[in-house]
Structures are given as structure tokens and as C-alpha cells.
Amino acid sequence: MAKSGWAAAATAVSAVLFFFGTGLDPLPELAWLAPLPILLLAPRVHGGIAFACAFAAYLAGSSGSWGYFWHSLAIPRPAAVAILGGSALLFALATVLFRLLVRRGHGLLAAVAAPALWTVALYVVSLLNPAGVMGTLMTTQADRPSVLWIAAVTGGWGVEFLVLFVPAAVAAALAPGVRGLARLTGLAAVAGVLAGLVFWSVPPLAGPSTRVALIAPGQSRWAADVATPDGQALIQSYVDEIGRLPDGVQAVVLPEAAFAVDRTSRPQLVESFTRVARAKHLDVVTGVLDTTPDGRFNAALAVPPAGEPVEYRKWHNGDAKNLTSGTELAHLAGIGLMVCMDVNFANPSRGYGEAGTGLVLVPASDEDVDGWQHSRTALIRGVENGFSVAWSAARGTPMLADAHGRVLAETHTGGSPFSVVVADVPTGTGKTPYARFGDWFAWLCGLVALAGIVAAARTPRTGQPAAATGSGSWPMNRRPLSADSRTSAKP
């Protein structure tokens, strides 16, 4: 088959694997395979072809998410185009870096530098993007605790790196020009990773449990004004639903911005939920849009059976100009509070981990199709920082998960007036290595990527393997060039 045929085939196969292995409802094992056809192709074709094939494969593979990004209420269309095109561009650049390194005989460096470049670039995006980051390679593995556990040490960045490292190491070991120890080292690293994933089992949490219930409406209601008859009716419908919960529930979580309150109407909401909290001996947590003299806050309001309510104010509001962002953590009897988009960022989650918080309750609201993806973003934050998660999402996937990433119970909203989930949720320990040391692994990826770029930019020395500097071809048994031609060949 001509090189153009191999290029088209590799692009098509990789695109199909990316389509099913990533996105809004991924098959996690396919995410590990998706980059492999492109990375096997890259050293054997011209650099421009490798770049174009990688870009096309990733962009086509993300087509299952195009409709979501284009119609999303939370992501402006220019940002959606930047996310889709930027991700494809980043994969193409990582592929080109991989190609340059293996063609210079740096097989092991290629295997680590390409995923390091991908990972550190996403880390930078997470710092700059007002909506944070979700739905990347780490999210594809969110239902695999045996993979996800490393996030407690490295953050999710370790998972992000690992999913791309395995196919990169295989491709580097099989690349022309990579021989001997470099090839064996790459294959040994892959074997070690796969063996660890197969034989490692995450131990169960041994701490105390809290019985938590999630209640989300079948039809999304955003910020019903408590001062109106419609708002009062909604309060009563939630009170009735809470009253039907089984005995032993200790906390119930309602969705984000279920109600709109101000100084006048807030006491009405608190009084209604205090009565049912006393009757059922539980804490009620609801999302509110709270207008105060200090500003307008998207908040989680926790109402205990006795004592004063606790309010957590959402830190990250995206591009919502009419909302004021909070800056402080909030606990109710040792249980933490967050709101929806906060889980797209390292903080405040890491603050709760540093504080040793073992359970965080999160009112949320999604867009139906991204419900699984966003709930798993919350789950990853819990694993990173050692806390269990109660995610109560309107138009989404209400979910209860422990601090090791095991989903204990979940459902999807719609089809009934209310969706209800109940489970005993073990308390995590908090204070994971990631919570203590932060994004050290992302910084390490930056150093590795820089080393790879420097090595790739260096002029090849005379005497290096032919395939490291020649024009490349698909067959792996290519005849070596003469010494004279090696010195003048271009990458």
C-alpha cells in the first residue's frame, strides 16, 4: 500500500477510536488505543502529512461533541471553536514532537515528551480558561478506579499523561531507528503500566459513612423566586419529596440555583426547610441565587435541624457578569459545600483536601448530554483530594461517589417529577499528596516537554540511525543511508 493509503487508513482508524473512546459517553479502553495509529504512522511519513493526519483524526474523532459545544448555554461559540480546534492542534503538535524525536533515535524521550506536552498545555488552559477544564482524557477513565487512583498523588494530570503515554511508548518501540535498550525500555514501561492496572485493586474506605439523598426535578427550574406563589409551590414540592425519604438519611442535596432569595424572602426558605429538617433529622442543602448588600451570589445554602444556616458562595461563575464570586470554604458539621462549575478547577477542591474534608455536597445544573461528563469531573476532584462527592444536578446525572472514585449510586434526570438517589457514602480522609503538593506533576510535564523540544530542535549528528533523519517510509526494514547522505538529510 502506498504511503498515502497508509496515512488515510491510520487517520480513519484513529478518528473512529477517538469518536468512541472520548467525548460525552466514552468507552474508556478505546481512549488508550485512539492515538496509536497516528503515532505509528508519524515517523514513516513527511512531517506535514503527520501533522495533517493527526489534526484531522482528532477533529473528526471529536465530532460527537460538536453539537453539544455549538448549542451549549455555558460555552460561547467562539470558545467552542477554540476548544475543538485547539485540542486537535495540540494533538497534532504532540505528534510532530513525537515524530522528530523518534527519527533522531530518542525513543524513550519521545514516549514521555509527547504526552507531557499534551498534559502541560491542558494544565495551562485550565489556569486561563474562565470555564475551567473537563472532558479530557482523564475524564474517559473516571469509571475505572484502578486507573484513577493515581490522581490522589499526581492530580488528574497523571491520568491524562498515562492514557497518551502507553500508545506513545508502543509506537516509539516499534518505530524505525529506535533499537536496543530504547525499544526494550519503552516496552517494559508499557508492560509495567498494564500489569499495574490489571492487578491493582483500590482498597475500600474504612471510615464512617453518611447516608445522603439527592433530589433533582424532572424538568429544570432555574431560580424560582421564593416570594412568588410559584416559588412557594416549588418549596412545598421539595418539602413533600424530602418527607418521603427513607429513615436514616442524614443529608439531602437539591440542585444548583433552585431558588432565588433576598434579605426579605430568604427567611421564608430557611423556615420551610428547617421544619422538614427537624422532622426528618437531616440537613437540607439547596442551591440559591442570593441577593445581598455585598452582591448577588450563586450559593449553596445548608439548613440544619438546629442552629444557623451555612452559606457557601460559588467561586467560579464563568462569564456571568451579574454574579459575584466567593472566596471562602464552608463546612456544615465537617461536611464541605461547593457549587457546579467549581469542580472544573483545582480550587476550592484542593482547599477542602488540605483541610481534611471527607465529604463534599455539590448542588449543580447541567445540559442533559454533558451530565455524565460533569459528574465525573466532580468525581475526579474527590479522588485528587480525598473526599467523597454528592453531586445533585438538574438536567444531568445526580451521583454519589466515594473518595476512591467508586460510583455508589446514580441516575439521570427526566422521565419523572423528581429523580431521587440514596446511598451510604463513606467519609474520605482528605489530605492526599496532591492536596498537599498541588500540581507538581503538571510542572514536571512542562520540564519533560521542554527537554523533548530542545532535543528535537538539535541538528542530527553524523552517524545516527538512518531512519532517524531520512524521509521515512512505511516498511520497517528500510535500507540504511550512506554516511554522506545522512549528514544532508532533513527531518
Residue 292 is classified by DSSP as: E
Parallel, antiparallel or unpaired: strands 331-332 and 335-337: antiparallel
Rounded Cα–Cα distance for residues 311 and 296 (Å): 13
Domain boundaries, the chain: 3-202+437-488, 209-428
- The confidence score (pLDDT) of residue 42 equals 97
List, in sequence order, every residue forming a beta bridge with 421; answer none if it has no partner.
214
Amino acid (1-letter code) at residue 477? N
pTM listed for this prediction? 0.90
- The confidence score (pLDDT) of residue 78 equals 87
- Quickly list DSSP for 328-365: ---EETTEEE--GGGGGSSTTHHHHHHTT--EEEEEEE
Q: How many CB atoms lie within 10 A of CB 360?
A: 31
Residue with cell string 458562595: 313
- The confidence score (pLDDT) of residue 144 equals 93
Q: Which of 55, 164, 51 is nearest to 110 (CA)?
A: 164
Residue 42 is classified by DSSP as: G
Rounded Cα–Cα distance for residues 58 and 91 (Å): 7
- The confidence score (pLDDT) of residue 464 equals 47
List, in sequence order, every residue forming a beta bridge with 215; answer none if it has no partner.
420
- The confidence score (pLDDT) of residue 95 equals 98
- The confidence score (pLDDT) of residue 202 equals 72
Under a CB-based contact definition with an 8 Å cutoff, are residues 445 and 458 in contact?
no
**Which of 81-87's residues contact partners 24+ apart within 8 Å by CB, and which partners?**
84/59, 85/59, 86/125, 87/58, 87/62
List, in sequence order, every residue forming a beta bridge with 363; answer none if it has no partner.
392
Rounded Cα–Cα distance for residues 183 and 160 (Å): 23
Rounded Cα–Cα distance for residues 137 and 154 (Å): 15
- The confidence score (pLDDT) of residue 462 equals 45
- The confidence score (pLDDT) of residue 54 equals 98
Per-residue pLDDT of 323-338, as tens digits, reads 999 999 999 999 999 9
Under a CB-based contact definition with an 8 Å cutoff, are residues 470 and 490 in contact?
no
Residue 220: alpha-carbon gap to chain centroid: 24
- The confidence score (pLDDT) of residue 484 equals 41
Under a CB-based contact definition with an 8 Å cutoff, are residues 214 and 391 in contact?
yes
Under a CB-based contact definition with an 8 Å cutoff, are residues 480 and 466 in contact?
yes
Q: Is the dihedral of CA 454, 455, 460, 461 positive or negative?
A: positive
Is the previous residue joined to 348 through a cis bond, with omega within 30 degrees of 0?
Answer: yes
The CA–CA distances, whole Å, from 13 to 295, 364, 406, 432 equal 52, 37, 32, 39
Give the DSSP H or E segment for 288. strand 283-292
Rounded Cα–Cα distance for residues 252 and 207 (Å): 20
- The confidence score (pLDDT) of residue 347 equals 97
Residue 24 is classified by DSSP as: S
Which one is the CATH code of 209-428: 2.40.110.10, 3.40.50.300, 1.10.10.10, 3.60.110.10?
Answer: 3.60.110.10
- The confidence score (pLDDT) of residue 113 equals 97
Rounded Cα–Cα distance for residues 107 and 105 (Å): 6
- The confidence score (pLDDT) of residue 488 equals 36
Parallel, antiparallel or unpaired: strands 310-313 and 295-303: antiparallel
Per-residue pLDDT of 256-267, as tens digits, reads 999 999 999 999
- The confidence score (pLDDT) of residue 2 equals 66
Rounded Cα–Cα distance for residues 134 and 139 (Å): 7
Rounded Cα–Cα distance for residues 173 and 110 (Å): 10
Would you state the cell numbers that stand for residue 171, as one nine-digit string?
509506537
Q: What is the mean pLDDT of each run of 10 residues along the chain (491 residues)?
A: 84 98 96 98 96 98 93 84 94 98 91 97 94 94 93 96 95 83 73 72 81 92 94 96 96 97 96 97 97 95 96 93 95 97 97 97 95 97 97 97 96 92 95 96 98 89 44 42 38 34
Would you state the cell numbers that stand for residue 134, as one nine-digit string?
473537563
